[in-house]
């Protein structure tokens, strides 16, 4: 399980965790539900406006986990549920 999550998914009834991931080609960081696979451009969109049109359904099919240092480098560490690993 990826510990770099920001909460539970609003779309799949809270079953999944919203994880910060990166595309395999390393071009983009995004938020993705580990259960239903829905994706958002950033944590703010996923948490505060989950039904916005910015939500993407499996647009980036190949993703990989990221490190806490990578999350800090893009300024998303304050969204993490578990901040220290």
Domain ranges in the chain are 5-79
pLDDT digits (tens, 9 = 90+) for 34-80: 888 888 889 998 888 766 544 565 566 788 999 999 999 999 999 99
pLDDT at site 85: 47
| Residue 83 scores a pLDDT above 70 | no
Please give the structure tokens belonging to residue 24.
């395999």
CA distance 75 to 8: 20
| Residue 3 scores a pLDDT above 50 | yes
| Residue 29 scores a pLDDT above 70 | yes
Helix (H) or strand (E) holding 17: strand 17-23
pLDDT at site 6: 94
pLDDT at site 39: 86
């Amino acid at each position: 399980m990826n510990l770099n999550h920001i909460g539970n998914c609003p779309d799949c009834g809270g079953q999944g965790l919203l994880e910060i991931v990166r595309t395999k080609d390393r071009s983009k960081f995004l938020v993705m539900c580990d259960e239903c696979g829905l994706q958002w451009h950033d944590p703010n969109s996923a948490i505060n406006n989950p039904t916005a049109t910015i939500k993407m359904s499996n647009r980036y099919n190949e993703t990989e986990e990221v490190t806490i240092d990578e999350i800090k480098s893009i300024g998303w560490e304050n969204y993490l549920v578990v901040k220290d690993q």
